[in-house]
Structure 1
């Protein structure tokens, strides 16, 4: 309850929560409120039309409504962010728990793996993975997940190292509890607060990385709408200057999505930090 009260006092947290809920609801309701068929939802007679009451965000080079494309593109980007962060969190959490609790050669091997992954800039590592696997939406999810793994390994390991020597862990160990029970029933719950905060912040980062891969042509393939791909199509077609709305609105909603999760993460960090 105290954490909830602190969160409700955080302006950034409340703004981030409102924006995040709005984005998630719009993404979930998109097929219901405005069904989209990429094969038929185009009209070459109104291609590159500026914003009008009929097309609020204008149209693109194929005569498609940019508002609908942004709407569905945001749905795709959000799916990539949530799934990739979820996969990276699970893998990093398990490896971090193993490295921090058992130490020894397991910690050394996992530490080497973490250092190798962190040696590469995240976007370059993601590009390399997608290039090897092949451009597709699942490839982007996997690549962004791999990039997220070392972050959670280091965070979890540092938390476990401080918790494994605490009195309550030593008491449970003296009573004969198995390592699995100690890890998942006693250590893991105490590490969740910083991990939840990091996961919230990582969704914004993952969304941005997915958009970057889409801009390079390595993300979702046509006809799947995706914000980064929309920016790429506008630049490749030469519309970015003559028809600026083709880049302004996709870029704006990428920024809005990243901002929403960053504000929410800041609010959660302030409310869950016992030092505040």
Structure 2
């Protein structure tokens, strides 16, 4: 868990999977890969295998131990719908989210085809749980815009777009069925620039469509200095959230027991063969 996460639109992160592979321009300067590869070969470190894709069953039940309600970014260091993650493992993650209903889970993917397919079949009774938000990354027109269409075909209580890094003017957005839009520029030494007019275009479309708009950052080499003010205003809108009281520890343990056989299906740590 990371209650001190620097991600402005969430409270904490939860990573029952670690590692990923690049599939589109938004992945070029992946912060997660840069971080993970620093620790490759360091025995005992969570990222001793760098950014190789790994299931982490030991992390599956973490949210059930957190009494205080949180917004939780799922797999900040991976993509839950990566092609090498077994369907059964994804289903277990969703069952945990469904049972831990005092939290709000934010699931973000660049692989919406698989998300939509599973959401309309094996996960159909889970994906539209009110505490599970489903989103896609949108970095440009070619790769990002088609993901919106897949998301719109996905049953979900809340659908959101993470338009970060915004790499070009993405034109007219189809915001039908979309509840929340996050926009941000790329950060780091190799950050690609983001023009203010691209951000304003997205913001204005959200205003016209009644969609909540969150401006995360301008980015650049020094993102703290660049800040996150847009036209002298900080945009921190969220979709309307539900408030669920955290159950007592006895109830949380009862729910945990109902899922107790899940990790045994996958072993304590499991490496896939994607590399």
| TM-score (ref. length: structure 2) | 0.22
Higher relative contact order (CA 8 A, sep 6+): 1
Q: Highest CA radius of gyration, 1 or 2? A: 1
- Select the structure that is richer in strand: 2
Bigger helix fraction? 1
